[in-house]
Amino acid sequence: IAGITQAPTSQILAAGRRMTLRCTQDMRHNAMYWYRQDLGLGLRLIHYSNTAGTTGKGEVPDGYSVSRANTDDFPLTLASAVPSQTSVYFCASSDSSLTEAFFGQGTRLTVV
């Protein structure tokens, strides 16, 4: 079934550790996004990529980095995790930067 796959589904991480959240889509979408969802704050954009080879910062990029080496993959890296990065992370994609966005099932990350 075509769609977006995120891994892991959930993770408990010690503060200070490095972590990469994986996101793969098989729809050949050009644009991909990372959001975090927090109670009371809704969904906020972390980083985005309009096409392979390009990335950009969203609303809350600090402490996160991304890469877009190919069309299908858009990993999100936390270089040194902090408790405030405890959240549910969603990866999304769209055919272009302006069309319907599709979301993955999310990664629940707890930093302790």
Footprint on this chain of other proteins (rule: CB under 8 A): 33, 40, 42-43, 45, 48, 50, 56, 58-59, 90, 92, 97-106
Minimum CB distance to other proteins smaller for 58 or for 63? 58
Nearest to 32 by CA among 83, 101, 89: 101
Burial pattern 17-50, b for ≥16 Cβ within 10 A else e, equals eebebebbbeeebbbbbbbbeeeeeeeebbbbbb
Minimum CB distance to other proteins smaller for 16 or for 56? 56
Cβ 36 to other proteins shortest distance, Å: 11
Minimum CB distance to other proteins smaller for 59 or for 69? 59
